[in-house]
């Protein structure tokens, strides 16, 4: 019997001929990742367990992105703790203010993660790297400590759900809309403990940016990982960036799936997930009249140059609604520079928006756009839980960059076609 791409990558890293869903395995990790929120706890656990050098100073990646540049004294202490550790361990992949960006945008961009990798990151959106054809999953801080120490981690081999997307995308429909629709269909625990394999003719036509967006939100359906079969798009993306040799895996035709879900893309319009679950997805034409106070365009989900270009296309020559706040957050320094060079900053500024430095910032309610009680934001981020972006009495509506930009102009939830 054949194996899925997820099973193949796991078996290779566990040194086993085959693995089957349900098996508990010990696997070697290619990249162990942490950030300024999760690394301090991992470093503490690492030191309490005896410390010593990390298993490989080139494979432990630490990024100061959540509350960095330090938003307050406590955040400064956490970043300092991580920085001191990175210096003491002579880590080659430590990213601080100036070089840092939102980790899941930064690692693929820099070629730190490559196809075929097994990545364990102490951040739930580590699943983003599945877009490259890697097995990548979020773990906790103690896991990160263990991975830093031994270079290995325990995993339960997940069953795989296969999602087959077919049909042509309507105007303005992006990877974000496909994944919001999918989560809306299966629910926030619809893929609990499972791998989500994204396939079909539509996804083969998606850019790497759109694939990264989709894999990013596998966790919002409870998934262990999201994954794409690497192809020419992958090859073109990684060829000049990969830091290490890479390997393309594919699923066997006779691989066994938990289920196969067909999605007719032609029926999907731009989506919005209403508060307070990512699964509350609706087509933009069905949401009714909802006044909004703020747009956030950024994050590991939609803070790449492609996303900023979509927003700029809509905002060009227009102005945001009165008393509206538009906050654009390029996810990495390279995206920042590129957007600046392409003149996108002028478009955002002329429209009445502001541009933030690369950070997670408001995505998790840190800073740079926190909401007051009763306020509503449309955000290109990935979570709309109670209190996620500020006061527990505020609301977050999740959407792609097109809806976030159009909404900024209208001052209420709309798509570009309703402007």
Partner 1 sequence: MKFRGRTWKFGDNIDTDAIIPARYLNIWDPQGLAAHCMEDADPDFIKKMKQGDIIVGGENFGCGSSREHAPIAIKAAGIACVVAKSFARIFYRNAFNMGLPIFESRELWERVSNGSEIEVDTDDGLIRIIGGDAEPLRIEPIPPFMQQLIDDGGLMKHIAKRKTQ
Residue among 299 and 394 whose Cβ is closer to ligand SF4? 299
Asked if residue 28 lies in contact with residue 151, where contact means CB atoms within 8 angstroms, the answer is yes
123 binds ligand SF4 (CB under 6 A): yes
Kindly identify the residues of this chain, within the stretch 210-229, that bind partner 1 according to CB under 8 A: 219, 222, 224
Contacts with partner 1, 273-302, as mask; x by CB under 8 A: ----x-------------------------
Judged by beta carbon distances under 5 to 8 A according to partner kind, the member of ligand SF4, partner 1, none in contact with residue 213 is: none
CB of 82 to ligand SF4, least distance (A): 15
Kindly identify the residues of this chain, within the stretch 388-417, that bind partner 1 according to CB under 8 A: 388, 392
Judged by beta carbon distances under 5 to 8 A according to partner kind, the member of ligand SF4, partner 1, none in contact with residue 323 is: none
176 binds ligand SF4 (CB under 6 A): no
125 binds ligand SF4 (CB under 6 A): yes
Choose which of 21, 101, 133, 138 interacts with partner 1 (CB under 8 A). 138
Asked if residue 99 lies in contact with residue 106, where contact means CB atoms within 8 angstroms, the answer is no
Q: Which residues of 278-307 are buried (b: 16+ CB within 10 A; e: fewer)?
A: bbbbbbbeebeeeebbbbbbbbbbbbbbbb
CB of 71 to ligand SF4, least distance (A): 13
84 binds partner 1 (CB under 8 A): no
Residue among 11 and 294 whose Cβ is closer to ligand SF4? 294
- Contacting range for partner 1; rule: CB under 8 A; set: 184-192, 206-214, 299-307, 320-328: 184-192
Q: What is the DSSP string of 232-296?
A: HHHHHHHTTT-SS--------TTB--SEEEEEEGGGPPPEEEPTT-TT-EEEGGGS---B-SEEE
Residue among 84 and 189 whose Cβ is closer to partner 1? 189
Return d(Cα 210, Cα 401) in angstroms, integer.
12
Choose which of 5, 355, 363, 414 interacts with ligand SF4 (CB under 6 A). 363
**What is the chain's alpha carbon radius of gyration, rounded to the nearest angstrom?**
20
Residue among 299 and 332 whose Cβ is closer to ligand SF4? 299
141 binds partner 1 (CB under 8 A): yes
Work out the number of other CB atoms within 10 angstroms of the CB of residue 245: 8
Kindly identify the residues of this chain, within the stretch 75-104, that bind ligand SF4 according to CB under 6 A: 102-104
Asked if residue 244 lies in contact with residue 114, where contact means CB atoms within 8 angstroms, the answer is yes
CB of 135 to partner 1, least distance (A): 14
Residue among 192 and 267 whose Cβ is closer to partner 1? 192
Return d(Cα 251, Cα 229) in angstroms, integer.
8
Asked if residue 378 lies in contact with residue 407, where contact means CB atoms within 8 angstroms, the answer is yes
189 binds partner 1 (CB under 8 A): yes
Choose which of 8, 12, 59, 66 interacts with ligand SF4 (CB under 6 A). 66
360 binds ligand SF4 (CB under 6 A): yes
381 binds ligand SF4 (CB under 6 A): yes
Count of residues interacting with partner 1 (CB under 8 A): 50
Asked if residue 9 lies in contact with residue 229, where contact means CB atoms within 8 angstroms, the answer is no
The token pair that represents 194 in the structure block: 């499972």
Work out the number of other CB atoms within 10 angstroms of the CB of residue 333: 18
Asked if residue 209 lies in contact with residue 304, where contact means CB atoms within 8 angstroms, the answer is yes
Could you tell me the end-to-end alpha-carbon distance of the chain, in angstroms, rounded to an integer? 53
Contacts with partner 1, 41-80, as mask; x by CB under 8 A: x--xx--xxx---------------xx---xx-xx--x--
Q: What are phi and psi of 147, to 5 degrees?
A: -65, -40
Kindly identify the residues of this chain, within the stretch 264-323, that bind ligand SF4 according to CB under 6 A: 299-300
Residue among 75 and 302 whose Cβ is closer to partner 1? 75
Strands (DSSP E) contained in 344-402 are 354-355, 376-379, 395-399
Residue among 46 and 345 whose Cβ is closer to partner 1? 46
Three-class DSSP category at 83 = helix
Q: In a 10 Å sphere around its CB, with 0-12 CB exposed, 13-18 middle and 19+ buried, how is residue 48 labelled?
A: exposed
In the complex, the residues that contact partner 1 under the rule CB under 8 A are 24, 37-38, 40-41, 44-45, 48-50, 66-67, 71-72, 74-75, 78, 121-124, 126, 138-143, 145-146, 149-150, 154, 188-189, 192-193, 219, 222, 224, 277, 364-366, 383, 385-388, 392
């Amino acid at each position: 019997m054949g194996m899925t791409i997820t099973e193949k990558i796991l078996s290779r890293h566990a040194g086993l001929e085959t693995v089957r869903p349900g098996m508990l395995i010990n696997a070697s990790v290619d990249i162990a990742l942490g950030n300024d929120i999760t690394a301090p706890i991992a470093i503490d656990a690492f030191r309490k367990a005896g410390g010593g050098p990390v298993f490989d100073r080139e494979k432990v990646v630490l990024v100061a992105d959540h509350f960095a540049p330090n938003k307050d004294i406590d955040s400064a202490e956490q970043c300092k703790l991580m920085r001191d550790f990175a210096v003491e361990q002579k880590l080659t992949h430590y990213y601080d203010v100036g070089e840092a960006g939102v980790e899941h945008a930064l690692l693929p961009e820099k070629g730190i993660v490559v196809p075929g990798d097994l990545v364990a990151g102490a951040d739930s959106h580590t699943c983003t790297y599945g877009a490259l054809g890697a097995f990548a999953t979020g773990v906790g801080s103690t896991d990160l400590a263990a991975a830093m120490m031994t270079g290995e981690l325990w995993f339960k081999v997940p069953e795989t759900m296969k999602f087959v997307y077919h049909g042509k995308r309507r105007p303005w429909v992006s990877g974000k809309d496909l994944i919001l629709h999918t989560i809306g269909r299966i629910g926030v625990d619809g893929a609990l403990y499972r791998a989500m394999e994204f396939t079909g003719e539509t996804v083969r036509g998606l850019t790497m940016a759109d694939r990264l967006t989709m894999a990013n939100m596998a966790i919002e359906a409870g998934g262990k990982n999201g994954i794409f079969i690497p192809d020419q798009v992958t090859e073109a993306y990684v060829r000049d960036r990969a830091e290490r040799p890479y390997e393309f895996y594919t699923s066997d035709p006779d691989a066994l799936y938990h289920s196969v879900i067909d999605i007719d893309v032609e029926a999907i319009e731009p989506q919005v997930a209403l508060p307070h679950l990512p699964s509350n997805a609706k087509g933009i034409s069905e949401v009714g009249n909802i006044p909004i106070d703020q747009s956030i365009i950024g994050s590991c989900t939609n803070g790449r140059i492609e996303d900023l270009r979509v927003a700029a296309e809509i905002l060009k020559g227009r102005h945001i609604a009165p008393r509206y706040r538009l906050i654009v957050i390029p996810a990495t320094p390279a995206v920042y520079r590129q957007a600046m060079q392409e003149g996108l900053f002028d478009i955002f500024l002329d429209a009445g928006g502001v541009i933030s430095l690369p950070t997670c910032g408001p995505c998790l309610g840190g800073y740079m756009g926190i909401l007051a009680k009763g306020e509503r934001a449309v955000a290109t981020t990935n979570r709309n839980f109670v209190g996620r972006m500020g006061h527990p009495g505020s609301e977050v509506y999740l959407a792609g960059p097109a809806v976030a930009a159009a909404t900024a102009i209208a001052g209420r939830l709309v798509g570009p076609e309703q402007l």
